[in-house]
A and B are shown apart, each in its own frame.
Chain A
Amino acid sequence: MTFDPLTIRKDFPIFGRSIRDGKRLVYLDSGATSQKPSVVIDAESDFYRNHNAAAHRGAHQLAEEATEAIESARGIIADFLGGATDEIIFTKSSTEALNLLAYSIGSAAKENPFHLKAGDEIVVSEMEHHANLIPWQQLAKRTGAVLKWFEVEPNGRLDLSNMKSVITDRTKIVALTHQSNVLGTINPLAEIVKRAHEVGAIFILDACQSVPHMPVNVTDLDIDFLVFSGHKAVGPTGVGVLWGRASLLADLPPFLFGGSMIESVTMTDATWAPAPRKFEAGVPNMAQIVGLGAAVSYLTNIGMQKIHNHEIEITQYAISKLQEVEEVRIIGPTDMNLRGGAVSFTLGEIHPHDLGQYLDNSGIAVRTGHHCAWPLTRKMGVPSTTRASFYLYNTIEDIDALITGVRDAQKYFA
């Protein structure tokens, strides 16, 4: 099947509406959240209409159907990532998934292999989203561990020349983004993962900006944990995924306590169910999990490699066209080697908020600001940027609209 974004757009009802008095919607903000195809909206709605009951509880047919629905979604997502079904944990968001890891690790007792003590090291990078920075920064503060990081070079790539001094024998955790939500940079994981394992550290991958856009296989990457968010992958809001190696999940202490996650409870003590249940206290976000299963099936049917290739093609086009505009400065790599479909830029002295407002008036949705990566925008020497981010439903026509909008804004604010 050939890849045709115009056919794909028909799967997404939102493209049927218009913006700001009749203008065509040019949605270039999928890095913040993606639009949803009908199959996802229908799956979520169908769950409520026909199968709603509390999963894993109750002896009735609806409870069985609800359980089956979310467990089948778990299987779909495990296959999608190349992991085992019991290695998939549903959270309310990828932010929660990262906090789950940070709090669980932080609560590990002395005899637990995850135990962190003063002087142990946690490694991140300067290009992390706040969600993969602050949990570790605060964990370091709570435990006396030391937070270290890889720096970002002016071209938007990680400086890995000092790998051995950043990841040392004291390193316990390396938490890194797969693809920067600001720069579009895809990080070369193999050597970093190898180094992390060499010193006995665990490797945690923030895959929020990669899993929706390209093939990602946890076995091939040889990583230990991965998080991604449903709503950036054409799925519903309110559901995130944590994948972890089974052997590690067995040792990792739980984060949230409550119903479903226990094996046995007395008034004074409790023991835990095996993973994934140990990490899923409370009635899960069932409709959203089912919707995410539908989303992942939808993406798989189209083909992740095809989606990635399409994004590479339009991103390359966008970068080359933006570079033709005087005063545009692209913040991030301008070559397509290890690069995804998020393009941040500045336009002379025009503030991104003003540019974003102007584009919005033409029906073009972009993100402006520091993109929840404040240390990174500071490092790149800009208070904020405008970001266009692309997905499977974007077309060359969308890019052309962006370029026209940028040029018109330049005249407007001149």
Chain B
Amino acid sequence: MELDNLYQEVILDHYKNPQNKKLATNYDAQVHHVNPSCGDEIDLNLTITDGVVANISWDGVGCSISQASVSILTDLLIGKPISEAYSIFDQFVSLMQSKGSIPGDESVLEDAIALAGVSKYPARIKCALLGWMAFKDASVQAQAKSELG
């Protein structure tokens, strides 16, 4: 059924077994993002060491799409150089905004490709992007801090 394109097995797996869902005590930047239309919230802690995403940890409440999306993000971006993380970020955002017109590059997006179906449900795009926007915000803050330091 149509709905299965949205709720792929990978998404439901991440939803039921979220990765890195425990806020680390040490971090370079901490952000709190909300989706004001539905009340979903996320706290995200980020550490960037020598230009590499050293750690992302998070906690939050939200729907399966928002929770799975941030879980997938952590799996995907931890260990990547920040420039590559940004490139993946850009590809993911483009995929979400594509209204289903592009398939997305699985070699880059890995599990995040499972969220492609979200792009056909305009009301859910914000859910999928909640954690990603939090990551972007945190990364800007973390880098600003390291430049100051």
Contact = CB atoms under 8 A, between A and B. Distances in A.
A383 interface: yes
Contacts of B44: none
A203 interface: no
A272 interface: no
Interface string B30-66: 0000000111110000000000000000000111111
Interface stretch (B1-9, B79-87, B102-110): B1-9
A131 B109 CA distance: 42
A357 B118 CA distance: 11
A413 B12 contact: yes
B99 interface: no
Interface residues of A, number: 18
B2 A383 contact: no
B63 A370 contact: no
Interface string A376-414: 010000011000000000000000000000000000110
Given A361-B2, A370-B38, A353 B61 contact: no
Contacts of B63: 351-354
A369 B2 contact: no
B2 A353 contact: no
Given A21-B2, A351-B63, A383 B121 contact: no
B136 interface: no
Nearest to A355: B63
B36 to A, nearest CB: 9
A358 B64 CA distance: 12
Nearest to B64: A354
B124 interface: yes
A104 B121 CA distance: 42
B39 A383 contact: yes
B111 to A, nearest CB: 19
Contacts, number: 47
A167 B6 CA distance: 51
A368 interface: yes
Chain B binding surface SS class:
mixed
B72 interface: no
Nearest to B6: A357
A19 to B, nearest CB: 12
Most chain A CB neighbours (cut-off 10 Å) among B37, B66, B121:
B37
A374 interface: yes
A165 to B, nearest CB: 31
Nearest to A385: B39
B9 to A, nearest CB: 12
Contact of B39 (A21, A357, A374, A412): A374
B127 interface: yes
Given A21-B2, A361-B1, A384 B39 contact: yes
Nearest to A377: B39
A351 B124 contact: no
A329 interface: no
Given A383-B61, A413-B64, A361 B3 contact: yes
A20 interface: yes
A254 B147 CA distance: 54
B3 A358 contact: yes
A374 B1 CA distance: 34
Contact of A370 (B6, B39, B62): B39
Contacts of A368: 38
B127 A353 contact: yes
B121 A351 contact: no
A384 B38 contact: yes
B57 to A, nearest CB: 20
Contacts of B3: 357-358, 361, 412
A233 B65 CA distance: 34
Most chain B CB neighbours (cut-off 10 Å) among A21, A354, A413:
A354
A370 B41 CA distance: 12
A20 B39 contact: no
Contacts of B7: 354, 412
A384 B66 CA distance: 14
A192 B12 CA distance: 49
Given A353-B63, A357-B3, A368-B38, 4 more contacts: A352-B38, A369-B38, A369-B39, A383-B41
Interface of B: 1-3, 6-7, 12, 37-41, 61-66, 121, 124, 127
